[in-house]
Structure 1
Amino acid sequence: MAVKTILEEMNESVARAFVAAGYPEAQASVQLSNRPDLCEYQCNGAMAVAKKAGKRPLEVAEAVAAELKKESLFSEVGAVPPGFINLRVSPDALATAVRALREQPQCGAVRDENRKIVVDYGGANVAKPLHVGHLRSAIIGEALKRMGAFFGNEMIGDVHLGDWGLQMGLIIEELRRRKPELPYFDESHTGDYPEEAPFTISELEEIYPTASKRSKEDEAFAEAAHLATVKLQSGDPGFTALWKHILRISKADLKKNYDALAVSFELWKGESDAQPFIPALLEDLEKRGIARSSEGALVVDIAEPGDKKELPPCIVRKSDGAALYATSDLATLIDREATLSPDCYIYIADKRQELHYTQFFRVARKAGIVPPEHELIYIGFGTMNGKDGKPFKTREGGVMRLETLIREIREAVSTRIAENPEISPEEAEKTSKTVALAALKYADLSNQASKDYVFDLERFASFEGNTGPYILYTAVRIKSILKKYANQGGAAITAADLRPAESESEKALFLDLARYPEVLRAAWKELAPHRICQYLYELSNHFNSFYHAVRILQEPDEEKKRAYLALIQTAEIVITYCLGVLGMEVPERM
């Protein structure tokens, strides 16, 4: 059974106080104070109550405060103009609350949800290397998937590959130009095709941009590529065999790169999987009058009363008969509803695609593809920019490959890790990977998803400031202190060792730990990983303030020393949980 958090206890206490003061209709809630110099928590419910009761807010606040002073939960209660109730928590009550949370699974962050949620956060194209433009979707999506699972949901991540369309025809036609003797282009070929692909991933990644460039300069080649696309989509056996080679080699390379980011997917489906559903979808939309003809194209009107701006119809079939992204996404929904029937869908993509998702969601609702009780959520993310404020590029001005970015950030942290003489070269390499990944992920997740941010390699790799390495270093420092105590023969530290705070720095740490379950719950409810990052930074700062104010292992009073150790151990556990839901790990040493 879940224990109450300190905030839940305060809310109950305040509700009782309003009733005792003669205001049973009060809708009062306690909030964390934004003025910690004045109080720790605050309640402004007296204002609304006073208006209904025809009294001065301060009069109501003073009456409620008088009742709250009778509660052992608070060490200080005050009513201040115009009608705020300022609260400080009793150190005894705080220690009891943190001790109770510490004894709960996941430190009181209860796994009490049971929804099935699909997270669409890949979107990579086959035959193309991952680049920095794929970073935010992967990192944010993985964090949200882990956050949902943390609370007990079945989370299904789908990479949703771009594996269909003209890019396939371009690759096939460029390959035919280079190697016309291959059996895939022989109309008279019978029997099986070779098991080995006629190209490596490196060759494949060079073929596509070459073909794309050639199609812009050579009209005949562009037409041939278009015909090759049609032929593939019509089921030509040779082209289908080639396509499967492209898919297999691309997926293996993509998986390697996603693994380097500690990002994984439960489903490796692509646009090609949706194609069988498109003909029936278009026929149904037309038959039911949901779609209409417009200049030869098939469109669905999506404008609704109350729209603040004009929204154009969603094109589901072009005048030349071709389907579009919206068509493919709708067909994918049909597939997902039939095979998964999830309670919720979360799509993560560049915020510049907002119109696409508005159109696609509205058509899905209008056509009844998704029932009303199944949520459709779109999270649009901002751009990762260089110091010049423009989308991040290489020094040469090209789009940086993701593996290059990861390598550069590893190099940036490895020098610092190598300074520790206790770490072997093998451990240093492993630790550098862990720290670099935290630097990269934290740099992204600490920003609100919708905001653009500047990628500053030097700052993100720093062990000081609001960075991933700083958070990891805090957890590693705690591990080191606990290890030293154990090596000195100290008995195992448990929650029972926690004692009420005796100093402001100690209490600040207690207050952070007490609100941990609510922080994680709110971050998940808002789909806002940056909230967890904010909390991690505050918690790390408060630990370091406490660490510098108190000589933990030099404390002569053994009971007090163990209380200190229990407090920082709880902080380390909470930091590890928070980093885990964001897709980061804590190394043993740094």
Structure 2
Amino acid sequence: MKKMLDLLSAEVAKAFAEAGYDEKYARVSLSNRPDLCEYQCNGAMVAAKEYHKAPIMIANAVVEAMQGSEVFGEVQAVNPGFINMKVNNEYLSQYLNGMEKDERMGCEKAENPKTIMIDYGGPNVAKPLHVGHLRSAIIGESVKRIARFAGHKVIGDVHLGDWGLQMGLIITELRERKPELVYFDEAYEGEYPAEAPFTISELEEIYPTASGKSKQDEAYKEAAMQATYELQHGRRGYQALLKHILNVSVTDLKRNYANLKVDFDLWKGESDAQPYIPDMVQKMKDGGYAYVSDNALVVDVKEDTDTKEVPPCMLLKSDGASLYTTTDLATIVERMKLYNPDEIIYVVDKRQEMHFIQVFRCARKCGLVTDKTKLKFLGFGTMNGKDGKPFKTRDGGVMRLEYLLKDINEEMLKKIQESRPMEEKEAEETAKIVGLSAVKYGDLSNQASKDYIFDVERFTSSEGNTGPYILYTIVRIKSILRKYEESGKKAGEGKIGAGRSDSEKALQLELSKFNSVMETAFEECAPHKICAYIYDLANAFNKFYHETKILATDDMEAQSSWISLLLLTRRVLETCIDMLGFEAPEKM
């Protein structure tokens, strides 16, 4: 189904051609003065240069050619050469009825579906998820859902941090505590125990303890580095411990991500890329790309057009150890071999931009990807507290993600209990649903690259540009539809009619933008565009609702038409919040 703006542009193009002007000037856009018109075309202003005429002369000729159009209700040429338009009410209602009949409400699937991999999440094993992991998970999940809705094959990968010094630290601390464990006996050749020698709680305590010791005790740090080296070079006992660390950590991570309604197709980590490193490095050497500088193996990635310094991409340190850069490059090799993606999107803190510039350039220079493979860095800003600094607990520590969600849920439960009576269990479930909308919408309504203030009080409000306000609107629509059917009538039997009031038409105009918004959100990896849209849509609906006696009217034809309009509004809103990663309750 074509986008409304494309249909309107095609109609205006006919008028430009009829008036003797090039159709390329006929692009229609939403009006920047909605008090004057709904759509506008500024093509006459540009065409004036080519045709050496006053813009208003061209605009008047085009408007004259548009008289009698079934698409537009009002068309006007305005000095110095704008063409202002209002769409015909009947034409608009026909468009919406077409949306209503379509399973995807006017959104066409990609003609040539791509395979897209999204790298988001990125937690380190043996550590609890904290608020710093929130944005990657929320943004990545939304981008994944939007791309799937657009018709592409999308593979989400958590990309665990499971290979660096932290593993050596855990092994070293575990050895100090339990030296008798069979994993530390190099002569042992039997099967290792199936059960881990630690719980998730113990594991989460082991790492910070070990990290603290390594900063004060040089010998301890050396032992951890040696353990890391031995792990990475295949020591059996340490490899078995790594499997235990992964199993225990991933089980806990899956539980926490499930609470966020975030899921991954792949639970791969840096360790999965390790087998690809030796061949990759050798090929870079053989191809003349990699060379030794200050005892480290590097690849130059600077370009003549660079306006700032881009350091060489380091592959191996002087001791032969790999780095994040090496692992990220080897992960690209693995992904190309196993999945051959057309595009890989990295949803990562924007402060890592230089790292990914180096990685992407090195991958291209050394032929790890094809010329057509798109590598995209979607860098996000910081989630800050009200003081404008990175969000912390009251005592200044980094807040665990599950504690943040718990606080939000408790705040929502309190508000729900204050606003309406509800059974305790139902209230708790509703608080979880609405609380998640508060967190996700609060994050996603900001452009990903921008820092934002995480304000619990504002995010949980049912008024203003918030998740709860959007859900409150959906719940209100559900309530009206429920009451309509309880009166013995069947919703959806009527057609959406021509707007009978300004507020009804305003709602219809917002609905007609749906496919255009979804297309833009995909092309720009921009969930915030969906948030802005549904906020406008919710506002338009609530204005219509307050001005219209939907259930109290005696005009059955109008009522049936309005109910069909509400059904479409609910479908669009629910589809959009699904793209954002949350859902609406039945009651609030």
Contact 1:26 1:49 in 2 (8 A): no
How far apart in 2 are the matches of 1:383 and 1:257? 21
Instruction: Name 2:203's counterpart in structure 1.
Output: 204
How far apart in 1 are the matches of 2:548 and 2:400? 46
Instruction: Name 1:87's counterpart in structure 2.
Output: 85
Flag the 1:86–1:25 CA change in 2: closer, same or farther, 3 A: closer
Mean Cα displacement is larger for which, 159-168 or 80-89? Answer: 80-89
Instruction: Name 2:377's counterpart in structure 1.
Output: 378
Contact 2:25 2:44 in 1 (8 A): no
Secondary structure at 2:24 match in 1: coil
Instruction: Name 1:184's counterpart in structure 2.
Output: 183
1:571 aligns with 2:576: no
Contact 1:158 1:269 in 2 (8 A): yes
Within the candidate set 507, 510, 521, 1:509 is matched to: 507
Contact 1:95 1:501 in 2 (8 A): yes
Q: CA deviation at 1:405?
A: 0.6
Instruction: Name 1:534's counterpart in structure 2.
Output: 532
How far apart in 2 are the matches of 1:363 and 1:567? 53
Cα-to-partner distance string for 1:16-73 (whole Å, 9 max, x where unaligned): 0100000135332111112110111111111221111111111111111111232121
Contact 2:291 2:297 in 1 (8 A): yes
How far apart in 1 are the matches of 2:267 and 2:85? 52
Mean Cα displacement is larger for which, 349-358 or 289-298? Answer: 289-298
Mean Cα displacement is larger for which, 428-437 or 204-213? Answer: 428-437
Q: CA deviation at 1:422?
A: 5.9
Instruction: Name 2:356's counterpart in structure 1.
Output: 357
Instruction: Name 1:285's counterpart in structure 2.
Output: 284
Secondary structure at 2:388 match in 1: coil
Superposed, which structure 2 residues align to 1:418-567 within 5 Å?
418-419=417-418, 423-494=422-493, 496-567=494-565
Secondary structure at 1:69 match in 2: coil
Contact 1:146 1:581 in 2 (8 A): yes
Q: Which amino acid aligns with 1:89?
A: V
Cα root mean square deviation, aligned:
1.2
Instruction: Name 1:407's counterpart in structure 2.
Output: 406
Cα-to-partner distance string for 1:480-530 (whole Å, 9 max, x where unaligned): 000001001112324x42110011111100000011111111111111100
How far apart in 2 are the matches of 1:25 and 1:146? 37
Q: Which amino acid aligns with 1:27?
A: Y
Instruction: Name 2:104's counterpart in structure 1.
Output: 106
Mean Cα displacement is larger for which, 313-322 or 136-145? Answer: 313-322
How far apart in 1 are the matches of 2:434 and 2:572? 18
How far apart in 2 are the matches of 1:503 and 1:550? 9
Instruction: Name 2:145's counterpart in structure 1.
Output: 146
Mean Cα displacement is larger for which, 306-315 or 117-126? Answer: 306-315
Secondary structure at 1:450 match in 2: coil
Q: TM-score, normalization: structure 2?
A: 0.98
How far apart in 1 are the matches of 2:126 and 2:23? 63
Contact 2:491 2:560 in 1 (8 A): no
Instruction: Name 1:49's counterpart in structure 2.
Output: 47
How far apart in 2 are the matches of 1:472 and 1:44? 38
Q: Which amino acid aligns with 1:102?
A: E
How far apart in 2 are the matches of 1:570 and 1:416? 29
Secondary structure at 1:26 match in 2: helix
How far apart in 2 are the matches of 1:274 and 1:388? 40
How far apart in 1 are the matches of 2:421 and 2:65? 58
Secondary structure at 2:5 match in 1: helix
Contact 1:292 1:300 in 2 (8 A): yes
Q: CA deviation at 1:419?
A: 4.2
Instruction: Name 2:301's counterpart in structure 1.
Output: 302
Q: CA deviation at 1:145?
A: 0.3
Q: TM-score, normalization: structure 1?
A: 0.98
1:240 aligns with 2:239: yes
Superposed, which structure 2 residues align to 1:131-280 within 5 Å?
131-280=130-279
Instruction: Name 2:95's counterpart in structure 1.
Output: 97
How far apart in 2 are the matches of 1:231 and 1:266? 30
Secondary structure at 2:104 match in 1: helix
Secondary structure at 1:292 match in 2: strand
Q: Which amino acid aligns with 1:269?
A: K
Q: Which amino acid aligns with 1:417?
A: I
Q: CA deviation at 1:420?
A: 6.0
Cα-to-partner distance string for 1:59-108 (whole Å, 9 max, x where unaligned): 11111111123212111111112211111111111111111111111211
How far apart in 1 are the matches of 2:513 and 2:253? 39
Contact 2:92 2:498 in 1 (8 A): yes
How far apart in 1 are the matches of 2:281 and 2:430? 53
Could you list the runs of 5+ residues in structure 1 that have no partner in the other structure?
none
How far apart in 2 are the matches of 1:171 and 1:456? 36
Secondary structure at 2:405 match in 1: helix
Q: Which amino acid aligns with 1:257?
A: N
Contact 1:351 1:380 in 2 (8 A): yes
Secondary structure at 1:155 match in 2: strand
Cα-to-partner distance string for 1:192-234 (whole Å, 9 max, x where unaligned): 2222111110110010010001001011111111111111112
Secondary structure at 1:464 match in 2: coil
Mean Cα displacement is larger for which, 567-576 or 425-434? Answer: 425-434
Mean Cα displacement is larger for which, 426-435 or 436-445? Answer: 426-435
How far apart in 2 are the matches of 1:398 and 1:26? 58
Contact 1:115 1:154 in 2 (8 A): yes
How far apart in 2 are the matches of 1:292 and 1:46? 59
Contact 1:95 1:510 in 2 (8 A): yes
State the identity %. 56
How far apart in 2 are the matches of 1:242 and 1:317? 25
Secondary structure at 1:379 match in 2: strand
Contact 1:91 1:507 in 2 (8 A): yes
Instruction: Name 1:416's counterpart in structure 2.
Output: 415
Mean Cα displacement is larger for which, 115-124 or 409-418? Answer: 409-418
How far apart in 2 are the matches of 1:309 and 1:5? 42
Secondary structure at 1:106 match in 2: coil
How far apart in 2 are the matches of 1:26 and 1:467? 40
Contact 1:57 1:82 in 2 (8 A): yes
How far apart in 2 are the matches of 1:273 and 1:366? 23
Cα-to-partner distance string for 1:137-190 (whole Å, 9 max, x where unaligned): 000000000001101111100000000021111000001111111111123334
Contact 1:145 1:157 in 2 (8 A): yes
Secondary structure at 1:411 match in 2: helix
Contact 1:497 1:559 in 2 (8 A): no
Q: CA deviation at 1:316?
A: 1.3
Q: Which amino acid aligns with 1:457?
A: V
Secondary structure at 1:347 match in 2: strand
How far apart in 1 are the matches of 2:452 and 2:31? 28
How far apart in 2 are the matches of 1:480 and 1:492? 12
How far apart in 1 are the matches of 2:491 and 2:500? 23
Q: Which amino acid aligns with 2:94?
A: T
Q: CA deviation at 1:242?
A: 1.1
Q: Which amino acid aligns with 2:27?
A: S
1:39 aligns with 2:34: no
How far apart in 2 are the matches of 1:72 and 1:83? 23
Mean Cα displacement is larger for which, 231-240 or 145-154? Answer: 231-240
How far apart in 2 are the matches of 1:5 and 1:345? 28
Q: Which amino acid aligns with 2:514?
A: Y
How far apart in 1 are the matches of 2:161 and 2:23? 56
Q: CA deviation at 1:374?
A: 1.1
How far apart in 1 are the matches of 2:315 and 2:35? 58
Contact 2:97 2:496 in 1 (8 A): yes
How far apart in 2 are the matches of 1:362 and 1:69? 55
How far apart in 2 are the matches of 1:194 and 1:433? 39
Secondary structure at 1:118 match in 2: strand
Contact 2:168 2:224 in 1 (8 A): yes
How far apart in 1 are the matches of 2:304 and 2:236? 49
Secondary structure at 2:252 match in 1: helix
Contact 2:474 2:570 in 1 (8 A): yes
Q: Which amino acid aligns with 2:11?
A: S
Q: CA deviation at 1:421?
A: 5.2
How far apart in 2 are the matches of 1:422 and 1:387? 32
Instruction: Name 2:324's counterpart in structure 1.
Output: 325
